[in-house]
Amino acid sequence: MDEITVNPVEILLSQLNGMIVGTVAVLPQIAVAIAVLFVTFLVSWAAKAISGRVLSRSRIRPSLKSLFQMLVGLAVWIIGIMIAAVIIFPNLTPASILAGLGIGSVAIGFAFKDTFENFLAGIIILFRKEMRIGDFVECEGLEGKVENIAVRETHIRQTDGQLVIVPNSMLFKNPITIRTDLDQRRITIICGIAYGEDVAHGRSVIENAVKSCETVIESTDRPVQIFAQAFGASSIDFEVTWWTGSKPLDVRRSRDEVIEAVKSALDSAGIEIPFPYRTLTFAEPLSLVSDSATKEGEA
């Protein structure tokens, strides 16, 4: 039998030659694909510019406008990349590309579940009109001013100056208290007078004191309200309710002014503001010794 000799160099050169020939053969297709991607870039830029101009006439939030522009550009790029891929690989069909994207999206969805959850929650929050930038909100013990609402996160500045970046899924899943949804907010404090005082007179003095405060907002549908609430341990307790600004500083300033005014008015009217009394009872009578007797005993 004749011996078969194998020359590795010839095999390698043959493979390289085939690769070069194949690459040269698809160079026109690659050039066309690059041209398609360049056109895709121009179309994406134009589409985002046009959509931005159209959205600028609407009243939707800036973050939502940016999101729409990004989605328009992304859609154009997906179509352009699919066309370029079909040009380079003629055997590749749009159906197979979509099938591959479907499988890939499932894998990516599992890997980035929290990211997509925050993304979708952010879109829903952006469509809502209740929470706006500048509002003071409270959610799960976190309270502060909303500085920015992005697609994935919301920036909340606490009253102590700290900035908290909150995932939108937290704001979407949990109840949110929007303290500045209205321009005014109702405040309630408890004020007590001694049992020996006249209840009607005490109510009148407290009411006049509250109404005299500059930070108190009074109207027909939002009056100052003073109600006797309960028999306390050492006082008749009044529930004092009024309206003021909705911002935290407005609330603190108004509460401070009202408490000072009520205390001054009750003192001027001679109405006692009691403090808790405690009566001590002894089983046997106590003997009282005067100071003079104590000094004589020591001498």
The percent of residues in the chain predicted with pLDDT above 90, rounded, is: 31
Structure tokens at 280: 């001590």
Please report which helix (H) or strand (E) contains residue 141, including its range.
none
| Residue 89 in this model has a pLDDT that exceeds 50 | yes
- One domain for residues 146 and 208: no
Residue 153 is predicted with a pLDDT of 87
Residue 253 lies in a domain: yes
pLDDT for 199 = 93
Query: Residue 194's domain is classified under what CATH number?
Result: 3.30.70.100
Q: Which pLDDT belongs to residue 109?
A: 56
Task: Specify whether the CB–CB gap between 183 and 249 falls below 8 A.
Answer: no
Looking at the structure, tell me whether residues 80 and 139 fall in a common domain.
no
Same domain, 69 and 32: yes
Q: For residues 190 and 160, state if they share a domain.
A: no
Residues 174 and 192 in one domain: no
Residue 253 — very low, low, confident or very high, per pLDDT cuts 50/70/90? very high
pLDDT band for position 276 (cuts 50, 70, 90): confident
pLDDT at position 1: 46
Instruction: Name the residue type at position 213.
Output: C
* Coil vs helix vs strand at 112: coil
- Listed in sequence order, the residues at least 6 apart from 93 whose beta carbon sits closer than 8 Å to its beta carbon are 86
Please check whether residue 292 lies inside any domain of the structure.
no
**Same-domain check for residues 173 and 192:** no
Q: What is the per-residue pLDDT for 43?
A: 87
Which of 84, 99, 114 delimits the end of a domain? 99
pLDDT tier, 63 (very low <50, low <70, confident <90, very high otherwise): low
Same domain for 243 and 205: yes
> 226 φ, ψ to 5°?
-125, 115
pLDDT tens readout for residues 142-186: 999 999 888 888 999 998 889 999 998 888 888 989 988 888 999
| Beta bridge partner(s), residue 139 | 142
Q: Which residue has the higher pLDDT, 234 or 110?
A: 234
161 and 202 co-located in one domain = no
The secondary structure of residue 280, as a DSSP letter, is -
Question: Would 138 be classed as within a structural domain?
Answer: yes
Angle between helices 94-111 and 113-127 (to 10 degrees): 90
Q: Is residue 118 part of a domain?
A: no
The residue out of 99, 118, 147 marking a domain boundary is 99
**List of residues 6+ apart from 289 with CB closer than 8 A:** none
Residues 231 and 254 in one domain: yes
Residue type, 281: T
What is the residue-averaged pLDDT of the chain? 81
Distance of CA 42 to the CA centre of its chain: 37
Choose among 149, 156, 155: nearest CA to 130: 149
Give the range with max mean pLDDT: 30-34, 50-54, 202-206, 276-280. 202-206
pLDDT tens across 97-149, in order? 666 666 555 555 555 566 777 777 877 777 777 788 889 999 988 999 999 88
- Kindly state whether residues 18 and 71 are assigned to the same domain: yes
156: CATH: 2.30.30.60
Range of the domain at 20: 11-99
Q: Does residue 57 sit within a domain?
A: yes
Q: Is residue 112 part of a domain?
A: no
Which residues, in sequence order, are CB contacts of 13 under 8 Å at separation 6+?
Answer: none
79 and 147 together in one domain: no
Separate counts of helices (H) and strands (E) for the chain: 8, 8
- 99, 120, 141 - which closes a domain: 99
Lowest mean pLDDT among 23-37, 106-120, 223-237: 106-120
Residue 17 or residue 127, greater confidence: 127
Average pLDDT for residues 77-106, to the nearest whole number?
71
Q: Is 134 left (phi over 0), alpha (psi -120 to 50) or beta?
A: left
Q: Which residues contact 139 (CB under 8 A, 6 or more apart)?
A: 166, 170, 171, 174, 175, 176, 177
The answer to whether residue 224 scores a pLDDT higher than 90 is: yes
In a domain, 34, yes or no: yes
Is residue 238 domain-resident?
Answer: yes
Assess whether 148 and 72 both reside in one domain: no
> What total number of domains does the chain contain?
3
The pLDDT > 70 percentage for the chain reads: 78
What would the mean pLDDT of 25-42 be, rounded to a whole number? 81
